[in-house]
Structure 1
Amino acid sequence: MPTRRYLDQRLKLHHLRALEAIAAQSSLLKASAVLGISQPALTRTVQELEEIVGQRLFDRLPRGVRPTEAGNLLAGSARRILAELRRLDEALDRLEDPEGGTVAIGTLPVAATGVLPGTLTRLTAGHPGIRVRLEQGRTEDLLPKLAAGEIDLIVGRLYEPAVPDGFPREPLWEEPISILARPGHPVFALEAVTLDALRRWDLILPTVSQRVGQEIETFLDMVALEPSGSMRSSSYGFIREMLLATDLIAVMPRLMMAGDLLRGMLRVVPLPVPAPRRPAGIIMPRDRPLPPAGHAFIECLRAHVAEIGQRGLTDITGAHREAGESDTTEGRERV
């Protein structure tokens, strides 16, 4: 007969937080820094846990640790329990302030610099009591957090899942790979922009995630632009300054610079080349409703995306209109 562990009586919240942190960081040292405790104290907590459950929870590796099967089982439960406690905390906040609340948003890198700033500006103006928690990452890293309830929704590029995962996806806009330059750039003085003409200017490219990087490389091959002599940077601020101050041209997802395009600080270089479709939007949880603050955020996101679409910077999909042909590298208006 299995040993009775009495987990409901013996497990404490600090055990669950330790499990979650170690599983996420794969390192006792990093997890102790995240939790704000010493590594020896965290090691004692792990020893307590292993005594309570009667099994080894982590295998020690030359660099870091790896959860055992039992460790993964407990870490998954710890994430769900802690997420439920956070949602309870937020529900109690809503009782005190019905106009407030919290929304936890997972965001992909392009959306984080593109559509989120304008969306959050609207949210703050219309719902000043709502608090926002942001977590940036890749889709494959954010989906487990969405499943566990650690975040309420994901915003960004809607990559096709390798296998069906049951998460509702709603496309709202397109994020075409485009060529950007400052408004006074000599390229806009040409009677017609040709691929040969574009080769006169050097490129500046973002250092981005693997999938976006591959899409940029595919686009460069398609338009026969040579990336070997290009400048690359992971800093969007640096890329922006170089675009504004020089004759460099950039190749990137267009809405990565949505704010500057809306303000007229940058323009899309027109090309008669169809850009591959890159639908973006929201990924919703499978089995729970959004909090009221989540609905308020989505309302502001739709409004901001609609404004971007009205300015000719992107095609609007989903609830705004039926998905149509893919966008091209030229906006419908010169901006």
Structure 2
Amino acid sequence: MVDWAAMRGRWFKSRTAGVAEPAPRPRVAVVTDSACSLPDGWVASDAAGGLVRVVSMPVMIGDQIYGEGTDKMIGALALALAQGQDVRTSRPAPGQFEAVYAELAAAGFEAVVSVHLSAKLSGTVDSARLAARASPIPVHVIDTASVAMGLGFAVQAAAAAALAGDDAERVADAAVSSAAGAHILFYVPSLDQLRRGGRLGAAAGWFGTLFAVKPILAIRDGLVVPLERVRTAPRALARLEELSREEIARRTGTVRVAVHHFGNEAEAEKLASAVVRDRADAEVMLCPLPAVLAAHAGLGVLAVAVAPAVDVPDDAGAGDSGAAGTEPRAAFGPAKTAPAPDAGPLPKPLNDADSHLDID
């Protein structure tokens, strides 16, 4: 039954309150790269407010160069990975960032916060910093020390701060705080693509000759680190679910969760339902892994990114302790570290070996 009394109360309140003042036009724009893995359509949505731009990172399949996000490229990449073809990626050229910064200046923005994947995984941050020198408006370049929706959540936090009317420093603080509170765990069904591209680095010795190993990996200190070796795919998926649920359970307040996939959406849907089944308050989304990351992880990858809910406090970024394993950095002014989230550290890896994806 409709509660007409409540309806009348709302109607009366809206009539007496008068017309709300329009929100001030945002002064700060947000730029990122296509490794951010943002959900389809988000950049064009009201949540982004028309102030977010994504610079595409090229993917090279054989002698063909593709831009991120086209169905043709996704199909070509999936086929190339299945056939073991040569697949490479590259950082965006500084000129791409220069063009975007100039366009935003012409649109009337007063500053830009440029939020990017880990500098230890790609030279994209360097390209953005070079372009910032030629920008007609100030550009604050942020190295999130993260990737995928660990980066994407930071972009969303920055956009929320910009829409709230915050200045560039506070917008940058929001991105840094979100990135510092994010954790990413992922599973790859095969090490072939990582081996083929020479991306295992020092971690190659950790895997040894176990070609059939199903590794659980994480992002820590801006690098890919191995956590556990599992012998079978079902056990690896079960362990990824378990670790993800433990991470989510440690969090207080609303938690955001993104489950990434490439070529295995049904598995991702099942994983997404499982990891949040004990947290009715969690915000969960499915996000295909962008081609620039799938090119290194391969077909069948599953990843879980966990971050605190978007919050733009009055004193954003004013904390003095960083989350374990992450140190996002801004290009201008003193680096600011977000307060540590209410969560324990990632599971300790078996050793300190790491893997440098070197996405450039």
Give the structure-2-normalised TM-score. 0.26
Largest Rg, 1 or 2: 1
Give the structure-1-normalised TM-score. 0.28
